[in-house]
Each structure stands twice: as structure tokens, then as C-alpha cells.
Amino acid sequence: MYVTPLYAAVLALMFVVLSVRTLRLRRQLRIAVGDRGDKQMLRSMRVHANFAEYVPFSLLLIYMLEANNGTSVLIHALCVCLVVGRLSHAYGVSRVAEDHRYRVFGMSMTFTALSGAALGVLATMSCATFPEICYG
């Protein structure tokens, strides 16, 4: 049984919420394309785009780690870091009067999930490819 699809579903719903929020703002501000110099529109677009830039690659690596027998505790920890990081980042960047602590914390958690999954995949693949390194 895999853990990652549960978090992928949660993150997909978060992406839909960010998408709808951006679309509503476009409608409210009557901006079809781009941001037309509106700071609120630019922030909404960046939150949405940043999510789209980091989440798929992070989930892919976490899933690869899980498929390579990463422990379920580690998989949950990486996924929780990703979800919390994306929530914090979205909250922080969405504010025109931004509190950078939320943005920094969000990116730190996202980078923890991404780099932790990447290192985990490298470690499991190294052990599978070169068992003498891991098992003597």
C-alpha cells in the first residue's frame, strides 16, 4: 500500500483551490492575461505557479523513494513537510503586505521534502546498484 497518493490527492485539491482563487481574482480585476501591474494579481499568479513548479517534482521523488522501500514514517514526514510548506508559502506570498517568515518557512519545508526525497532515492538506488557499499 502506498502513502504518497494520499498526499498527492490533498495537494491536487490545494492546487485546485489556488487555481480557482487566481481565476476569481482575474475575473474581479478584469485581467485576462498577465498581471497588468496589479500587485495582488502578481502575487496570486506566483503562488499558483510556484506550487506548480515544486509539487510535481517533489511528489515524483517521494513516490520513487516509497517504491524503493523507503519507510512509511519517512514518506509521511516528507509529505507532511511538503503540504505544510506549500500552505505556509501560499499564505505568506498571498499577502501584499508580506510577512516573509511564512514564505521562508514554506520554502524551507518544501526544500526539505524535495532534497530529502532526492537523497533518499540516491541512497536506495546506490544500495540496489552497489550492495557492497551498503552491506559490506
- Domain count for the chain, please give it: 1
Read off the pTM.
0.89
16, 36, 71, 106, 134 from 47: Cα distances, Å = 12, 17, 31, 11, 41
Amino acid (one-letter) located at 102 = Y
CATH number, position 119: 1.20.120.550
Q: What is the separation of C-alpha 85 from the centre of its chain, rounded to a whole number of angstroms?
A: 7
Whether 22 contacts 45, CB under 8 Å: yes
Give first-to-last CA distance, the chain, whole Å. Answer: 30
pLDDT tens per residue across all 136 residues of the chain? 689 999 999 999 999 999 999 999 999 988 888 888 888 889 999 999 999 999 999 999 999 999 998 889 999 999 999 999 999 999 998 888 888 999 999 999 999 999 999 999 999 887 777 777 677 6
CB contact set of 55 (below 8 Å; sequence gap of 6+): 11, 15, 82, 86
Range of the domain at 93: 4-135
